[in-house]
Chain A
């Protein structure tokens, strides 16, 4: 289960909690539960918590005066019974157009893997991806669950400009660029959906522990959804998960 937890000071104002270094759903669930308990605890000295694949960082407003005492407090929070406040998790359906116009690296991946582009699309869109956490850019989801056949090394020289909405593969991971940025991942498609919009009440719809399902759409559907997104008339389809 990976229950062994270590606590480390991280500078003057943060404590790093680490689990066994592996990417797995059960560790991730434990981390998210711990994070939610800390949130429910409403300690004003704690200003933020940062989730990683196998770590949770607790950031304090001020310099930690008594590190060992804080660790004891955290251990108690983690051990506390915590029911009822658990946030629901959702599966979000993200439309992706795998047209060659958007999927500018599809041909290269197809050649290297000996898979037809239609097979690449199928392999990418049939899986359910777990959101481990959000980082790198506002609204950038770290997704787990990519099919092994789609593992593909990052570009040796990152592109200076990757389009907002680009769906990409980097090593053993897949993800969506929430805004235009530099990036070294291989681009296989594009979604018209916003992954980060500061004008929304919750700027990013997804959270750690949710799931993503990519749904293949054609160019016409892409343009239609893009229009609806612009007019704030598009709603991402979601289903509640019972786990």
Chain B
């Protein structure tokens, strides 16, 4: 092996970290036995679009940015693609398109503006973000990675890329349904059959709304469906598992959820439904569809 790294990585500098920006890839698998959550991009569909446009591996790490309001300066030339939620991305204060390969030069500044739709956007960089891998993943998680959220002044390692760009104005059309759909597809969870017929009816006929209690671990919903089920012996939970809490509220577990839990698992979201839900926030409404 002749790996000579005179200057192994170039950097993106964090000028403003925004509300909640993390590095994410597809997550950690194979460590449930020591209690380590999966983590990874919340809206995998949008992250895939950004990586595909740059010809990156779909496993490449990206920045997951909630509601914009962050600012980055590129310290090397490269290509980027922003996908997911539309927070009016700009390079040097000039608007750029979502889902499009964009060439950036040294000193260029990426910033965001008005929130048009969505909750999270993804910034992919040619070759993927090169931050440290822990347990086979670069995804931020407390106690696993050194950082848990981007902070001002941090430098994000990336590869320099000055290959000739393919001259094209093409961008992938935004799938509006991904952001507007109020249907959350799921299958029945392991304890679904324990619910009364009335609870099952509520589950499928009610419109549910997202509470203020939301994070990468899970989304708590506002509506109650009651709960007189016995507690369970602790068993596995997965991203997308809908738990029925003792108070009768529902929690939809998301990517940073624990690996085990003791509440009845009444529904399981499809992968795509997790992506769709992760672009929704407090007070937005939807219904479960089996």
Which residue from chain B places its CB closest to the CB of A61 in the assembled complex? B29
When the two chains form their complex, are residues B35 and A140 in contact, meaning their CB atoms are under 8 A apart?
A: yes
When the two chains form their complex, are residues A198 and B134 in contact, meaning their CB atoms are under 8 A apart?
A: yes
Contacts A137-B258, A196-B143 hold; do A52 and B268 have CB atoms under 8 A apart? no
Q: How far is the CB of B230 from chain A (nearest CB, A)?
A: 10
When the two chains form their complex, are residues B144 and A138 in contact, meaning their CB atoms are under 8 A apart?
A: yes
When the two chains form their complex, are residues B269 and A135 in contact, meaning their CB atoms are under 8 A apart?
A: no
When the two chains form their complex, are residues B234 and A11 in contact, meaning their CB atoms are under 8 A apart?
A: no
Which chain B residues border A204 with CB–CB below 8 Å? 34-35
When the two chains form their complex, are residues B271 and A23 in contact, meaning their CB atoms are under 8 A apart?
A: no
Judge if B289 is at the interface, Cβ distance under 8 Å: no
When the two chains form their complex, are residues B35 and A52 in contact, meaning their CB atoms are under 8 A apart?
A: no
The residue that A136 contacts in the complex, of B33, B35, B238, B265, with Cβ under 8 A, is B35
Contacts A135-B258, A196-B143 hold; do A51 and B35 have CB atoms under 8 A apart? no
Among B260-286, those with CB < 8 Å from A are: 260-261, 265, 268-271
When the two chains form their complex, are residues B36 and A138 in contact, meaning their CB atoms are under 8 A apart?
A: yes
When the two chains form their complex, are residues B235 and A57 in contact, meaning their CB atoms are under 8 A apart?
A: yes
Judge if A48 is at the interface, Cβ distance under 8 Å: yes
Judge if A139 is at the interface, Cβ distance under 8 Å: yes
Main secondary structure of the interface of A (DSSP, over half): loop
Q: How far is the CB of B38 from chain A (nearest CB, A)?
A: 8
Which chain B residues border A63 with CB–CB below 8 Å? 271
When the two chains form their complex, are residues A135 and B187 in contact, meaning their CB atoms are under 8 A apart?
A: no
When the two chains form their complex, are residues A136 and B260 in contact, meaning their CB atoms are under 8 A apart?
A: yes
Q: How far is the CA of A139 from the CA of B37 in the complex (A)?
A: 11
When the two chains form their complex, are residues B233 and A52 in contact, meaning their CB atoms are under 8 A apart?
A: yes
User: Which residue among B232, B235, B269 has the maximum number of chain A CB atoms within 10 Å of its CB?
Assistant: B235
Contacts A50-B260, A52-B235 hold; do A196 and B34 have CB atoms under 8 A apart? yes
Which chain A residues border B57 with CB–CB below 8 Å? none
**Total A residues in contact with B, Cβ cutoff 8 Å:** 44
The residue that B144 contacts in the complex, of A61, A198, A207, with Cβ under 8 A, is A198
**Total B residues in contact with A, Cβ cutoff 8 Å:** 34
When the two chains form their complex, are residues B238 and A11 in contact, meaning their CB atoms are under 8 A apart?
A: yes
Which chain A residues border B189 with CB–CB below 8 Å? 10-11
User: Which residue among A54, A196, A203 has the maximum number of chain B CB atoms within 10 Å of its CB?
Assistant: A203
The residue that B33 contacts in the complex, of A196, A198, A207, with Cβ under 8 A, is A207
User: Which residue among B233, B238, B258, B259 has the maximum number of chain A CB atoms within 10 Å of its CB?
Assistant: B259
User: Which residue among A51, A61, A208 has the maximum number of chain B CB atoms within 10 Å of its CB?
Assistant: A51
Among A51-85, those with CB < 8 Å from B are: 51-55, 57, 59, 61, 63
Q: How far is the CB of A73 from chain B (nearest CB, A)?
A: 19
Chain B residues within CB distance 8 Å of chain A = 29-37, 134-135, 142-144, 187, 189-190, 232-236, 238, 240-241, 258-261, 265, 268-271
A-B pairs with lowest CB-CB distance, top 6: A135-B260, A11-B268, A52-B235, A50-B236, A57-B236, A47-B29
Known contacts A8-B190, A10-B236, A11-B238; 10 further A-B pairs (Cβ under 8 A): A10-B238, A10-B268, A11-B269, A22-B233, A35-B33, A52-B235, A135-B32, A138-B37, A138-B143, A196-B143
8 CB-based A-B contacts, threshold 8 Å: A11-B268, A16-B190, A48-B32, A53-B233, A63-B271, A136-B258, A138-B36, A208-B33
